[in-house]
Amino acid sequence: MPSPLRTLIDRLPRHGNLAMSRRLSRKADAARDHGRFAVAAALYAEALRFTPDRVRVIVQCAHMHKESGDYSGAERYYLAALQRAPNDADLALQLGHFNKLIGRVHEAQRFYGRALELQPGWPEALKELSSLRDRGDANDDAVEGDVPLPELLPIDVAAAARPGEHVQLFRLGARRVSGLWGRRVLRGVEAIRGYCVSAAPLVEVQLLLDGQLLRSVHLQPSSPPSGQAPSKFVFNIWHDFATAPRGRRPLELRYREHGGRIARALTEMVWIGEPLTEAECPSSDAVVDPGRGEVEASINARASMIRRADRSVVGGPMDSILVQRFDQLGDLVISVPALRRLRALFPQARIVGLLSAANAELAATLRLFDEILTIRLPEDPALARRTMSASEQRALQGTLARFRFDLAIDLIDTADSRALLRLSGARFLYGFNERETPWLDAGLETRSHDPANELENTPLSGKLVALIERLGAMTSNPLQVVARTDLERSLLQRFGIAAGERYIVLHAGSRLGFNRWHGYGALAAWLLRETSHTIVILSESEEDIDVPAEILGVDRLKYAVGRLPFDAFDALLSFCDAFVGNDSGPKQVATLRGARVVSVHMPRLNWNEWGQEGDGLIVSRRIPCAGCALTRFEDCGQNFACMRFITPAEVGGAVLRLLCESSAG
C-alpha cells in the first residue's frame, strides 16, 4: 500500500521537470512551516529528482534532515550543496552551524573561517568564531593569523556590503505576544523593512497577503552599482493590517525587475492579530493609530510627540501589589531580604502574598504582607510541571480581581508558576527571565556560572534582592543633578556672552550623522523672533550649521564651533536657560548640570530608554518602524521621516514651555 506522502506526490500533475520541482518545493515549504520536518525532507528530496542541481532546495533538504534528527542525511545534502556552490558564504556558515551542533568543533571553526573569507567582516561568522573560543573548544592553531578576539577586528565595510544575492529582513511584525512567542505577529500599522541584494536591477517590491497584492513600492539601489558586484535595494513598507483576516496567513515579498519579471520572492507565515492602539501603549512610538488616506502621508502629517523627561516605566503609582512565592519554608526564608526591600520601596502599598499552605504560617509571623492567600499548585510527576484545573483557575482569577492590583511579582526564578501572574489582572507583570515568558512587562536576567558545571554559584537571596532593586530603579528617577560650584560665568566671554545675558544653547552635532535633526538653523531664527534670548549654536564642525540668510550677522546669534576647553564647554551648558540637542553626549552633560533640556529624539532607539532623565521635554515621532536600531545610513528606506517631519515650531514651542515653567517656578 503506498504511503500518504507517495499518494500526495503521485496526485500532482506533471508539467515538466522544473514546474514539477517547484510544485513539490512549495509543498515542502508548507510542511516545513508547519513543523513537519521529516515530510518536508522527503518532499524536497522528491523535488530534486526532477531538478537535481537546485542548490536552494538541496540546502533546505539538508536543514529538514537536521531538524528531524537525521544528521547523516543532513550531512549528505549539505556536502552535495557545497559541491555545487563552493563559494557561497551563507552555505559555509550553515555548515559551521551544523558541525557545531554535532560536536565537530574544529570543522565548525573551519567553515566559519571560510564564511569570513567569502564575506569579510561578516558579524555573524565573527560572533560564532568568538563563541567557540569563549567555550574553549576552538583549535587555536587551526586558523593562520588567529587573534584572541576576532569580533573586535576592523571590518572591511566595502567588502561586507557586497555579499552574494540574498534578502535580509530587519523587521516583520513583533514577537512578544502572549501565546504566540516565536511567531511573527502583525497588528495594525506595521513596518516591513529590509533589503534585497541583487545583481539584476530591481524596480519594485510587492507585498502580498493570501496571494492578494497589498502594496507596491518603488526601489532604488542604496548606492551606485560598481562593476559586477550586486546592488543593495532597501525597502521600508508601512501598511495597516487592521482589516486583514485574523490568524495565520502567508505573507509574500516579490522583487521585480524591469519588464515585470520576478527576480526573487520570499514567503513568511505570519499571524494577523488585533491592532494595538495608542491609548493602550501611550509610551511607544512604534504603535501608530491609522489615519485617513494613504498610510505614509497620514503618519507624516501628524504632529510630533512632546513628552516629559521625568517618567516611570510602570506608568503610575503602585498602591496594590501581589507577590507570588510558592514551594516550601526555605524558599520563603531566602525571600525575606527581597520582601523587606519591597516594603521599603512601597511603604504605603497594600502587599498581598499568594503562597502555598506550607509557608503561610511562617509568612504571617514576618508581618511583611497585608493579606495572605493560599492556593494549591501541585506538581504532576508525569508532566514534570505544576498544574491547576480550569475551575480552580477561574476561582483564583475572581478572587484576585477584587484587589485591582497595579503590580504582580513572581519571586521564583524558574518559570514553574509564572503563568499565574496572568490571572492577577495587574497592569504590570514582573519576574525573572522575561525571555522565557515574553508577555512579562519587565524582568531581570541574572546568571553566574560555576566554571565546571555552569550552574549558578550566587546565593538566591541576592538574586531576589537584585530583582526588587531593579523594580525600584524603574519606578524612580535615579539620575541626580551634579552642579559645579567652581565654574565662573566669565568663561562665557569667549562666546561673546556678557554678564547677566540670558541665552539658549542649540547643539547641532551628533556622532552619528543620521541621528542629527537638520532644523537647528530654522529653530535659531524662530527663537530669535519669539524670545529675547541670545542663541548659541554649538557644533564640532561648521558643516553641521545651516543658518538662514535672514539671521546671518544678528548680534544675538553666537557660535561655539570646534573642540572647546572642557571648563568653557561645561560653563556654556551649566549657565544656559535652555538646551536643545540630539541624542548626544552634550545633552546628557546638560542634564547632569541641571539645565532645562529639550531633546530631539530619533526613534532608532526608544525615547524612554535614551531620552534624557530628570527635567525637560523629549520630542519624537510615532512611526511604525520606531526601534529600528539603525546602524547604516542607507538602510532606512523612509528617508528618515522620523527626523524630517519634526518642525522648528514644535521644538521652539517646547523651549518656550520650559522657559515659562522656569519663570513661574
Average pLDDT over residues 264-288: 89
Average pLDDT over residues 451-470: 85
- The CATH superfamily assigned to 489-664 is Glycogen Phosphorylase B; (3.40.50.2000)
Minimum mean pLDDT among 146-155, 246-255, 630-639: which range? 146-155
C-alpha cell at 366: 514576618
Look at residue 264 in the predicted model and tell me its pLDDT.
79
Confidence bin at 352 (pLDDT 50/70/90):
very high
DSSP 522-564: HHHHHHHHH-S-EEEEEES-GGG----GGGTT-TTEEEEESPP
Q: List all residues 6 or more positions away from 355 whose beta carbon is below 8 Å from its beta carbon.
A: 325, 326, 332, 363, 372, 373, 374, 375
- 200 and 212 Cβ atoms separated by less than 8 Å: no
The verdict on domain 4-154 having CATH code 3.40.50.2300 is no
Going by C-alpha positions, the residue among 557, 342, 587, 583 that lies closest to residue 469 is 342
As a whole number of angstroms, the distance between CA 154 and CA 152 comes to: 6
Per residue in 474-492, pLDDT (tens digit) is: 887 777 889 999 999 999 9
CATH topology of domain 320-474: Rossmann fold (3.40.50)
As a whole number of angstroms, the distance between CA 421 and CA 405 comes to: 11
The total number of residues shown for the chain amounts to: 665
Question: Taking all residues of the chain, what is their mean pLDDT, rounded to a whole number?
Answer: 85
Q: Is residue 38 packed enough to be buried (19+ CB in 10 Å), middle (13-18) or exposed (0-12)?
A: middle
Look at residue 241 in the predicted model and tell me its pLDDT.
95
Structural Rg of the chain based on CA atoms: 30
Look at residue 162 in the predicted model and tell me its pLDDT.
44
Confidence bin at 295 (pLDDT 50/70/90):
very high
**Is there a shared CATH topology between the 4-154 domain and the 489-664 domain?**
no
Task: Decide if pLDDT at 105 tops 60.
Answer: yes
As a whole number of angstroms, the distance between CA 77 and CA 321 comes to: 56
Look at residue 187 in the predicted model and tell me its pLDDT.
92
Confidence bin at 316 (pLDDT 50/70/90):
confident
- 231 and 197 Cβ atoms separated by less than 8 Å: yes
pTM of this prediction? 0.74
The one-letter amino acid at 21: S
Per residue in 196-247, pLDDT (tens digit) is: 888 888 999 999 999 999 999 999 887 655 555 678 899 999 999 999 999 9
Domain boundaries, the chain: 4-154, 166-275, 320-474, 489-664
As a whole number of angstroms, the distance between CA 603 and CA 616 comes to: 18
> How far from chain centre, in Å, is Cα 9?
42
Confidence bin at 99 (pLDDT 50/70/90):
confident
- Kindly state the percentage of the chain with pLDDT values over 70: 89
Task: Decide if pLDDT at 6 tops 60.
Answer: no
- Kindly state the percentage of the chain with pLDDT values over 90: 45
DSSP 379-432: EETTTTEE---HHHHHHHHHHHHTT--SEEEE--SSSTTGGGGGGS--SEEEEE
Higher pLDDT, 438 or 321: 321
Task: Decide if pLDDT at 121 tops 80.
Answer: no
Let me know how many helices (H) and strands (E) the chain has, helices first: 21, 23
As a whole number of angstroms, the distance between CA 513 and CA 604 comes to: 13
Going by C-alpha positions, the residue among 176, 288, 192, 185 that lies closest to residue 244 is 185
- 252 and 231 Cβ atoms separated by less than 8 Å: no
Could you give the angle at the alpha carbon of 442 between the alpha carbons of 331 and 173, nearest 5°? 135
DSSP 376-388: ---EETTTTEE--
Task: Decide if pLDDT at 42 tops 70.
Answer: yes
As a whole number of angstroms, the distance between CA 548 and CA 542 comes to: 14
H/E run at residue 660: helix 648-664
Look at residue 1 in the predicted model and tell me its pLDDT.
45
Average pLDDT over residues 333-348: 95
Minimum mean pLDDT among 25-34, 56-65, 300-309, 395-404: which range? 25-34
CATH topology of domain 166-275: Immunoglobulin-like (2.60.40)
> Which of 194-198, 453-457, 589-593 has maximum average pLDDT?
589-593
- What does residue 590 show for φ and ψ, rounded to 5 degrees? -60, -40
- 403 and 423 Cβ atoms separated by less than 8 Å: no
